[in-house]
Amino acid sequence: MIVGIIGGGQLARMLALAGQPLGLEFIFIDPGTGISAASAGQHWQGEYDDPTLLRRLVAAADVATYEFENVPPATIEYLAEHMAVFPSARALDCARDRLHEKSLFARLGIPTVAHRAVNSRADLTEAVAVLGLPAVLKTRRLGYDGKGQAVLRDMADLDAAWQRFHGTDLILEAFVDFGRELSIIAARSRSGDIRFYPLSENVHDRGVLAYSRGQPADARTEEACRYMASLLRELDYVGVLALELFEVGDRLLANEMAPRVHNSGHWTIEGSETSQFENHLRAIVGWPLGNTAPLGHTALFNCVGYLPDPVAVMKIPGAHWHDYRKPVRPGRKVAHITARAADAPGLEAAITALKALLPGHVLG
């Protein structure tokens, strides 16, 4: 069976590496050269909405998916008319628009960050009056890794932020003084079966995920699973969905969701009976989902803008090296390291060794 993926970055690469043992083959549509996924399937070079490539994909592939939510909507609409594509256009639309996703959260009774749509300068003033300062002005679409957003600390910041972003749809969100950042990842099959992964506790550095740790016994697990289940059912979702959450006091606020495999779940390759990548593929192909039980204690370090010495990484017991084969550029995710151990002290030892290895890492 052949899976078409829109995008050929590291998520597509890891999907293909998880899918090959299952007998799946892969085609990636991506305008880049020397893409991360190239060695794990066929790279069809071209724009994400290239009509010729999309027509060819319909003829060649059995099912299609995508590795990022900013795929052109017309691409998904065209594919959905001609072949199976998951997650659905509706799920993608909710996830790619911060206002739509927060409206969905509210409709399902999932607590979320206080927010207001901003379509004019007057809207911005009014939204600030309602939500107070500090607050965060964000583009509704095309934001990721902290891009497309500005923190407003006092009234003098409003004009600069408006100048920067006006002309695109905006949303103002209340500033959340959270305790922890968490995420939950789950897969839903074509037949409606749902499997949850353990929560991840996440640390960001300048808007980019730096560190995640699997938290199988987290006190917020039941609450997060409940929210995730209602989203999956409401959207009749097929594939892997990630939901980012803030812990504020003893409750969770939904921040945003991603209709795809998620960086905070990369530890599932070693740390779960079935990885998020394999379960996304099982779901979209129409196969039964695999067990998501954790295997020991696991943490994940992103390598953003630098590549550590792989030999030093591999010397650390329980460290697993994942090189995305991308040119190193500032702010770019080029590799990750999973640390796994049978027990908590073993994981702490690996984390300590990795921190010493990753210069200037956010965890110190």
Please report, as ranges, the residues that interact with its own copies according to CB under 8 A.
13, 17, 20-23, 25-26, 39-41, 269, 273, 282, 287-288, 290-291, 293, 295-296, 310-311, 314-315, 317-318, 320-323, 325, 335, 340, 342
Nearest distance from C-beta of residue 22 to its own copies, angstroms: 6
Tell me if 214 sits within 8 A of 294, measured CB to CB: yes
Residue 16 or 158: which CB sits closer to its own copies? Answer: 16
Nearest distance from C-beta of residue 278 to its own copies, angstroms: 9
Residue 141 or 340: which CB sits closer to its own copies? Answer: 340
Angle at 132 between CA 129 and CA 134, to 5 degrees: 135
Residue 114 or 312: which CB sits closer to its own copies? Answer: 312
Structure tokens at 3: 């899976």
Kindly give, in sequence order, each residue whose CB lies less than 8 Å from that of residue 109, ignoring residues fewer than 6 positions away.
230
Nearest distance from C-beta of residue 39 to its own copies, angstroms: 6
Nearest distance from C-beta of residue 307 to its own copies, angstroms: 9
Residue 23 or 249: which CB sits closer to its own copies? Answer: 23
Structure tokens at 345: 């002290």
Residue keyed to tokens 């010397």: 315
Kindly give, in sequence order, each residue whose CB lies less than 8 Å from that of residue 34, ignoring residues fewer than 6 positions away.
327
Residue 204 or 325: which CB sits closer to its own copies? Answer: 325
| DSSP assignment letter at 49 | T
Nearest distance from C-beta of residue 294 to its own copies, angstroms: 10
Residue 23 or 330: which CB sits closer to its own copies? Answer: 23
Closest CA to 173 of 137, 207, 206, 144: 137
Kindly give, in sequence order, each residue whose CB lies less than 8 Å from that of residue 126, ignoring residues fewer than 6 positions away.
116
Angle between helices 73-82 and 51-60 in degrees, nearest 10: 30
Residue 23 or 167: which CB sits closer to its own copies? Answer: 23
Structure tokens at 183: 């995420």
Nearest distance from C-beta of residue 305 to its own copies, angstroms: 17
Tell me if 340 sits within 8 A of 295, measured CB to CB: yes
Is 275 strand, coil or helix?
coil
Nearest distance from C-beta of residue 269 to its own copies, angstroms: 8
Whether the ω angle into residue 327 lies within 30 degrees of 0, i.e. cis, is: no
